[in-house]
Amino acid sequence: MKDRPTILDVAKRAGVSKSTVSLVLQGNPSVKETTRVAVRQAMADIGYVYNRSAATLRSYSSDLIGLVINDLRNPFFTEFAALFQMELARNGFATVLANSDEDPQMQTQMISSLIEHGVSGFVISPSYGREAETLAILGASNTPTLQVFRSLGPSDQRFPFLAPDYLHGGRLAAEHLREQGCKRVAFLGGLEGRAVTEERMSGYLSVLAEAEVEPVVLTGQATRSFGKAMTARLRAEYPDVDGVICFNDLVALGVLSACSELGVSVGTDLRVVGFDDIEDCQDSFPPLTSVSCNIPDFAKSTAEQILIWAKDGTVPPVIARSPVELIKRASSGQ
């Protein structure tokens, strides 16, 4: 970074004062067009590079947004992170990434570090644990903070919560399987007691209650290996189950893998629906029916809201639910 030209060098070269250069840098419309062009040319000539640390120090605002994710290796979150980052880049903001890896201690450490860097906003899909401490750190920093997908506590106006309408997704999945003729539908995966699990499940439960059918619930890790492992158990202990709604696509893909192994015909013997509609759903065998949370729109809308909040101070609604959609494929029948 040393020896980089400064706005003073640019000013000298363009024959204006450094204030004028600064105004050009900020896109201030009060600068005459010809001056603006001359300044831009001078910058190009001498290879000027904007020093954002100086700007941040003086202006109390950075163009950095902190993205804190509980499990970046889950493709659902990866897709969100990638799209979110690109959307911010389009708006001139950079993304500082932190994968808390379901470790609340690492999470608080990373958040503190991001605050020191002066991020203008946080988007966090939190790891559970140490909720009060984490919220206290975020609150003390007074940084606009949006919670996505998961929430660290009851509705809190300081930390608005943005998530897909999981409950409705659960309903859609259950209704679809009923319409496909399933007599007994199970719900598989998702850690018990977690809000996300509860929501996805309650859509399912309400449909079964309306149909007066007994639910079958097997909670657990949201992983392929869990889905794979539980399939045999499901077949053995609940032989009448002919439809299964999985907590997420990873679980569902595990089920599909086990069905291949066990010779169970998916889509006829057993109809399977996943959740999240990750890319893999299209290429599994059979292709997986899934509840899409429309991550591209969700990422874009999250980016817009945190940017508006960071720039104008406009706080988003405390709770917002984005629409979900059932994508029908062969795993749930024709």
Partner DNA sequence: CTGAAAGCGCTTACAG
* Partner from a copy of itself, DNA, none contacting 261, C-beta within 5 to 8 A by type: a copy of itself
Rounded-to-integer distance, Cα 242 and Cα 223, Å: 21
Q: Which of 17, 53, 91, 105 binds a copy of itself (CB under 8 A)?
A: 53
Contact 22, 51 (CB under 8 A): no
Q: Binding mask 12-51 vs a copy of itself (x if CB under 8 A, - otherwise)?
A: -----------------------------------x-xxx
Site for a copy of itself in 258-277 (CB under 8 A): 258, 260-261
Site for DNA in 5-34 (CB under 7 A): 6-8, 11, 16-20, 22-23, 25-26, 29-32
The closest of 251, 249, 248, 245 to 225, measured between CA atoms, is 251
- Shortest separation between residue 288's beta carbon and a copy of itself, angstroms: 11
Identity of the residue, 165 or 280, whose beta carbon is nearer to a copy of itself in the bound complex: 280
Q: How many residues of this chain bind a copy of itself (CB under 8 A)?
A: 63
Q: What are phi and psi of 194, to 5 degrees?
A: -70, 140
Give, rounded to a whole angstrom, the gap between the first and last alpha carbons of the chain: 61
Task: Based on the shown chain and the rule CB under 8 A, indicate whether residue 95 belongs to the binding site for a copy of itself.
Answer: yes
Rounded-to-integer distance, Cα 53 and Cα 67, Å: 20
Task: Based on the shown chain and the rule CB under 8 A, indicate whether residue 62 belongs to the binding site for a copy of itself.
Answer: yes
Rounded-to-integer distance, Cα 66 and Cα 104, Å: 16
Rounded-to-integer distance, Cα 143 and Cα 274, Å: 36
CB neighbours (10 Å) of residue 272? 31
DSSP 315: P
Contact 113, 57 (CB under 8 A): no
CB neighbours (10 Å) of residue 316? 18
* Partner from DNA, a copy of itself, none contacting 19, C-beta within 5 to 8 A by type: DNA
Q: Which of 54, 86, 262, 318 binds DNA (CB under 7 A)?
A: 54
Which residues contact a copy of itself (rule: CB under 8 A)?
1-2, 47, 49-54, 56-57, 60-62, 64, 67, 72-73, 75, 78-79, 81-82, 85-86, 89, 92, 94-99, 101, 106, 109-110, 113-118, 140-141, 223-225, 228, 253-254, 256-258, 260-261, 279-280, 282-286
